[in-house]
């Protein structure tokens, strides 16, 4: 199995690249955002539990997220591997993900982080905001705050995966094909 944590700031192109990579390598794309929306919409036990936190303005505890991830991983086993998008965000979550993968007799092979200059991100997100309907893509101050939060959160994760020799920074600027080629080189060399 090949298991990748795909990371990058908002607007870096994670969703676009995940769609290409899942087809190219026959991997399962697990987006925590999609996972939460699915469980909440379908009123699963975990979805209702997650919503009880979000309705009160609280973050969903890691153990609830890990249970959702475990259920999603189990749905797709056996498979060629996973692309984790949006998780982990903290060192504790990375450790929990490592434990989950060990229980499945596999591991995280790489954290691939798309690296894009802040001004390029702001421009991309404002452009996306014109068609996405997402209010968080239409306000430059909100966008800059999202980028700041990303860097504040992921600096720790970068260090965590570097210590394991599993961190790969990839230039996220260029054409979609150029970026895919850079990411594919990392995956092919694993």
Q: Residue 17 and residue 186: Cα distance in Å, rounded?
A: 13
User: 60 labelled as ligand-binding?
Assistant: yes
User: 6 labelled as ligand-binding?
Assistant: no
User: 81 labelled as ligand-binding?
Assistant: no
User: 124 labelled as ligand-binding?
Assistant: no
User: 182 labelled as ligand-binding?
Assistant: no
Q: Under a CB-based contact definition with an 8 Å cutoff, are residues 101 and 108 in contact?
A: yes
User: 36 labelled as ligand-binding?
Assistant: no
User: 134 labelled as ligand-binding?
Assistant: yes
User: 172 labelled as ligand-binding?
Assistant: no
User: 75 labelled as ligand-binding?
Assistant: no
Contacts of 110 (CB under 8 A, 6+ apart): 4, 5, 161, 166, 167, 168, 186, 187, 190
End-to-end CA distance of the chain: 11
User: 32 labelled as ligand-binding?
Assistant: yes
Q: Under a CB-based contact definition with an 8 Å cutoff, are residues 28 and 2 in contact?
A: no
Give the tokens for residue 159. Answer: 């260090």
User: 144 labelled as ligand-binding?
Assistant: no
Binding residues: 11-16, 32, 37, 58-60, 86-89, 93, 128, 134, 146, 174
Binding residues for ATP: 11-16, 128, 174
Binding residues for AMP: 32, 37, 58-60, 86-89, 93, 134, 146
């Amino acid at each position: 199995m090949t298991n990748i944590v795909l990371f990058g700031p908002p607007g870096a192109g994670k969703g676009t690249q995940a769609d290409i990579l899942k087809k190219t390598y026959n991997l399962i794309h697990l987006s925590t955002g999609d996972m939460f929306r699915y469980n909440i919409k379908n009123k699963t036990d975990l979805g209702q539990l997650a919503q009880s936190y979000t309705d009160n303005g609280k973050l969903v505890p890691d153990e609830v997220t890990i249970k959702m991830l475990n259920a999603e991983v189990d749905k797709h086993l056996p498979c060629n591997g996973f692309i984790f998008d949006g998780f982990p965000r903290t060192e504790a979550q990375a450790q929990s993900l490592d434990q989950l993968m060990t229980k499945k007799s596999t591991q995280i092979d790489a954290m691939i982080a798309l690296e894009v200059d802040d001004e390029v991100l702001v421009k991309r997100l404002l452009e996306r905001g014109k068609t996405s309907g997402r209010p968080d893509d239409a306000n430059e101050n909100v966008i800059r705050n999202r980028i700041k939060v990303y860097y504040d959160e992921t600096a720790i994760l970068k260090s965590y995966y570097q210590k394991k020799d599993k961190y790969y920074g990839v230039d996220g600027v260029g054409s979609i094909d150029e970026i895919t080629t850079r990411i594919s080189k990392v995956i092919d060399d694993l």
